[in-house]
Each structure stands twice: as structure tokens, then as C-alpha cells.
Amino acid sequence: MQQNEFIKIVSPFKDKLFRLAKRLLVSTEEAEDATQEVLVKLWTKNETLSELKSVEAMAMTMTKNYCLDQLKSKRASNMTIVHNNYTDNQASLQQKLEDEDSLSWVEKIINDLPEQQKLIIQMRDIEQYEFEDIAKILDMSEATIRVALSRARKTIREIMTKTHNYGIG
Amino acid sequence: MALDRIENLIDKYFEGETSIAEENELKVYFSSTDVAQHLKQYQTIFGYFSQAKEQQFTQEIPLQTKKRNVVLWLSIAASVVVMLGVGTMMYFNNDKEEQFVACSPEDNPELALQQTEKALALVSEHLNTGIESVSYINEYEQSKNRIFKK
């Protein structure tokens, strides 16, 4: 497969990989590194790519696994700096744009969810994958995904209503 | 859009039972300006989902393996050039030595003489190079004798 052919295959979903990585790793730089890493890995598999049914699902799974590995090794070495960086950034953003305030609240709430729920919210509510595809990517049953999704959505609603009442009401 | 339909969809949404089409319907509803007061709290959630989808991966895709291939081909090309160079040198060197032709003095005395002279010249040339290095030893001998006078 030629380089430009590969890029043509990859470009429709490379943003999705990045957003998934960012959802899990939070920091933009790390998410960029992860995305590049996954794309390079995909490129080295080059010859077998055409045999796959869905390169996108494969790439999503690879991104998920890579990011979870990253998180695991980071936790093992006791590094939690990334998260702090991120909240600092958000604070300055909040000051700038009043409107975005509640939107970044949603982001914070989602980022505080358990990893599996984060993944599912990201793929369903943001990327709008069908349950069938999510099941393939996460290697879980559709029923489990629905349950986790419902739980995640309800958690978001619950925290949102709380902040909504405190902030405005 | 009928309000009770939206309310119905929201209930289904939180149970995780809406389809993509229905979720899009909700997104469209909440992106409009006239959202019912009691549903305003959900507006930010759907607003965030739409906004989060806008993020893009702006980095270049680094396909390093391609570069590595270029290096590989370059090294192959370089080694081919080196081997060709060495090969031609050997070839021309061989040419010089092949100037000697086998012949017998009975059949062609002139050629035989020529060949012999050439061979002797070659031998003496090589011998001279040997002797040149021996002269260094002489030099060394002299200076040694100067220091350790007998």
C-alpha cells in the first residue's frame, strides 16, 4: 500500500482516534503522541490492512488499548501531574468565556467517570457509533454497553443538575 | 417539534435506548434557541457533545517506516557502487599482469626476450621497493653507531 493510499484510508477517522485518546489521557500533547503512535503501528501492519473488515474499528481498539496501557504505567510510577495541568488550562479558559463555562463542566464530569464509561460516552454520544460497532471495539456485549451508557448518562445528569442548582438557582 | 415527544426521547436517552437518529433529533432540538424552560438543564450536555466532535488532530502523520526504507535503499546503492569500484580496479590490475604471454624461445625468440626482460624488470622493481625500506634500517644503524661508539 502506498503512503497516500494509507493516508486516504486513515484520514476519515484520525480525528476520532485523537478525541478518544484525549478523552482518556486528558492532555492534548499525550493524546497527539498516542494518535501518532497508533497510526505508525497501523502503517507497519500495512500489508494485512486490506484483509480487515474495518480498519477504523481496529484503530479504535488499538487507541483504546494504547491509552489504557499509558494510564496504567503512569499510575504505576505515581504520576498525576497531567491532570493538574489540565485543570489550570480550563480555569483560564473559563475566565475568558462565560458561555463555555457549563460546557467545560460537562467535560470535567465526563473525565471523572470510570474509564469504561468514558469510552462508551465518547464513542456513542460524541462519535455516534452504533452499539454494534462499540461492542466490537470494546469486545463487550451490547447489553453491557447499554447499561454502562445509561449509568454514565445518569451520572452526568445528576451532577449537572446539582451544579445547575447551586450555580444559577 | 412536539414537546412530549422530546420528553419521551429524553427518558429513553437516559435509559440508553435511543437510536442514533433519535439522539440526533435531540441534538438538533437542543441546539435551537427555543428550548422549554424545564429542559434547559440538558442543553449544555448536548451542546458539549456537538462541540467535542469538532476537535481535530492537526499533527502530521509520521510514517517513519518509509524513511527507514529510503535509508535501506541508499545503503544498498552505496555498497553496489563500492563493489563496482573495487571490481573495476581489480579488473584493470589484472590487465597489467596479463601482458605476460606464454611463449617458448624456440618459436618466437624476440617475444620471449621481451617477456623475460619485462619479468626481470618487474622483479627488480619489486626488489627496489624492498631495498628502499632496508635503507631506513641502514640509517638507523648509522645513528646507532654514532651514539654507541665502538
Which has more confidence, A156 or A100? A156
Distance CA B50, CA B33 (A): 15
Percent of chain B having pLDDT more than 90?
Answer: 22
Residue A169 pLDDT level (bands cut at 50, 70, 90) = very low
CATH 1.10.1740.10 in chain A: give the residue spans. Answer: 1-79
Averaged pLDDT of chain A = 82
Sequence-distant (6+) residues with CB within 8 A of A71 are A24, A25, A115
Complex-level ipTM:
0.76
Nearest to A14 among B17, B57, B66 (CB): B57
Question: Can you spell out the DSSP letters for A5-72?
Answer: HHHHHHTTTHHHHHHHHHHHH-SHHHHHHHHHHHHHHHHHHHHHHTT-S-HHHHHHHHHHHHHHHHHH
Q: Chain B partners of A43 at a C-beta cutoff of 8 Å?
A: 61, 63, 65
Select the residue from A28, A153, A161, A163 to test the B interface by mutation, using most B Cβ atoms within 10 A: A153
Which has more confidence, B144 or A86? B144
Residue B23 pLDDT level (bands cut at 50, 70, 90) = very high
Which has more confidence, A75 or B34? B34
Assigned fold of A85-169: Arc Repressor Mutant, subunit A (1.10.10)
Distance CA A59, CA A88 (A): 31
Cβ-contact A123, A60 below 8 angstroms: yes
Could you identify the residue written with the cell 645513528?
B143
Distance CA A20, CA A34 (A): 10
What pLDDT does B150 receive?
59
For the cut 80, the answer to whether the pLDDT of residue B63 exceeds it is no
Distance CA A85, CA A90 (A): 9
Contact with chain B for residue A70, Cβ under 8 A: no
Q: Chain A partners of B61 at a C-beta cutoff of 8 Å?
A: 7, 10, 14, 36, 39, 43
Distance CA A39, CA A165 (A): 44
Cβ-contact A84, A32 below 8 angstroms: no
Per residue in B77-118, pLDDT (tens digit) is 999 999 999 999 988 876 555 566 777 777 788 888 888 888
Work out the average pLDDT over B36-65.
82
Mark out chain B residues that contact chain A at CB-CB < 8 A: 13-17, 20, 23-24, 41-42, 44-45, 47-49, 51-53, 55-57, 59, 61-66
For the cut 60, the answer to whether the pLDDT of residue A21 exceeds it is yes
Strand ranges (E), chain B: none
CATH 1.10.10.10 in chain A: give the residue spans. Answer: 85-169
End-to-end CA distance of chain B: 125
Contact with chain B for residue A136, Cβ under 8 A: no
Assigned fold of A1-79: Rna Polymerase Sigma Factor; Chain: A (1.10.1740)
**Residue B106, SS3?**
coil
Mean pLDDT lowest among A88-97, A98-107, A140-149, B111-120: A88-97
Per residue in A107-136, pLDDT (tens digit) is 888 988 999 999 999 999 999 999 999 999
Which has more confidence, B23 or B130? B23
